[in-house]
Every structure is written in C-alpha cells, then in structure tokens.
C-alpha cells in the first residue's frame, strides 16, 4: 500500500500537465522499451524505431486534447454516471474444473503449470 505514496509522489514531481503544454508529448526509443517491458511484450530491436515513430504520430494526434479547457470538469468513467449494483452473497458456481482447464497450455494434477517462479 505504500506504493500509493510512491505513485502520488512521482506524479507530483513531474507535474505533467503544465510541462506538457509547453513541449509536445513524445516518446523516445528508451521509453518504448520500458513500456514494452511493463506490458510484457517482446519487441525486436529493429522494430523499435518504427514503433516509436508510429506512437509519436498518435501522440501528436492525442496532443490536441491538451487544448481543451477542463478546469472544474469531473472525469466521466461511465457514460451514464451509473452506480454499482450489488450481488446477493450466494454460491452459484459449481466445480467445472475439467471443462474450464481444457484450454490450459500446460497443466498437471488440477494445477496450471508455468515456468518455475522464484519469489
């Protein structure tokens, strides 16, 4: 949970909004490599420049957004501003392990298997 403090600190430090208005947002090849790792997507080194270029094109399209005056505007996460419905606390699922695990790339004794994890 201390990651919460961390998260806010980093946002606070960067103060992205004002900064961004002055310099147009763009990513470097290093940024792309970092983001790709965060997203667990392997990218061939020779593809990185092209991908970086493509993403920068899109970011410059997205940049227009910064011209909109959104002071005092509340973010809208759901189109209808709806609220959560609650479910009764009832067990409705039955054991369907064999059926649900039939697509598993690798399994044994009712467990999904992955390459050994070292904690």
Partner 1 sequence: MHKQTIKQLMQGLRDKSFSSTELTQHYLNRINSLDSEINSFITITDELALKQAATADVLLAGDTKLHDLCGIPMAHKDIFCTEGVRSSCGSKMLDNFIAPYNATIIENFNAAGSIMLGKTNMDEFAMGSSNETSFYGAVKNPWDLTRVPGGSSGGSAACVAALFAPAATGSDTGGSIRQPAALCGLTGLKPTYGAVSRFGMIAFASSLDQAGPLAKTAEDAAILMNTLAGFDAKDSTSMPRDKEDYTAKLNDKLDGIKIGLPKEFFSDDLDPEVATLVNNAIKELEKAGATFKEVSLPNSEYSVPAYYVVAPAEASTNLSRFDGVRYGYRCDKPVDLMDMYCRTRGEGFGDEVKRRILIGTYALSAGFYDAYYNQAQKIRRLIKNDFAAAFNDVDLILSPTSPSAAFKLGEKTNDPVQMYLEDIYTIAVNLAGLPAISVPCGLKNNLPVGLQLIGNAFDDARVLNVAHQFQQLTDWHTLCAPFAKKG
Partner 2 sequence: MQWETVIGLEVHVQLATQSKIFSGSANKFGAEPNTQANVVDLALPGTLPVVNTEALTLAIKFGLAIGAEICTHSVFDRKNYFYPDSPKGYQTTQMDYPIVGPGELEIELANGTKKSIRIHHAHLEEDAGKSLHEAFHGSTGIDLNRAGTPLIEIVSEPDMSGPAEAVAFAKKLHSLVTNIGITDGEMSQGSMRFDVNISIRPVGETTLGTRTETKNLNSFKFMEDAINQEVERQIEVLESGGTIAQETRLYNGDTGLSRPMRSKEEANDYRYFPCPDLLPIIIDKSTIEAIRATLPELPEAKKARFIADYQLSEYDADALSSETKLASYFETCAKTSDDAKLSANWVMGDVSGLLNKNDMHISACPISAENLGALITRIKDGSISGKIAKQVFESMWAGEGDADTIIDAKGLKQNSDEAALESMIDEVIANNPKQVENYRAAEADKRKKMTGFFVGQIMKASKGQANPGLVNKLLAKKLNG
Q: Does 111 interact with partner 2 (rule: CB under 8 A)?
A: yes
Q: Which of 2, 15, 64, 74 binds partner 2 (CB under 8 A)?
A: 2
- Nearest residue (CB) to partner 2, 38 versus 68: 38
Distance CA 28, CA 59 (A): 12
| Binding of partner 1 by 31 (CB under 8 A) | yes
CA dihedral 47, 50, 52, 58 (to 10 degrees): -140
Residue 13 or 91 with smaller CB distance to partner 1: 13
Decide whether 22 or 106 has the Cβ nearer to partner 2: 106
- What dihedral do alpha carbons 108, 113, 118, 119 form, nearest 10°? -90
């Amino acid at each position: 949970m201390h990651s919460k403090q961390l998260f806010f600190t980093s946002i606070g430090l960067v103060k992205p909004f004002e900064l961004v208005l002055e310099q147009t947002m763009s990513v470097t090849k290093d940024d792309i490599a970092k983001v790709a790792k965060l997203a667990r997507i392997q990218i061939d080194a020779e593809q990185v420049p092209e991908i970086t270029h493509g993403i920068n094109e899109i970011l410059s399209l997205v940049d227009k957004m910064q011209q909109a005056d959104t002071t005092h505007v509340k973010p809208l996460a759901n189109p209808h501003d709806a609220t959560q419905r609650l479910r009764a606390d009832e067990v409705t699922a039955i054991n369907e392990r064999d059926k649900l695990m039939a697509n598993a790339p690798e399994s044994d004794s009712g467990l999904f298997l992955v390459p050994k994890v070292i904690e």
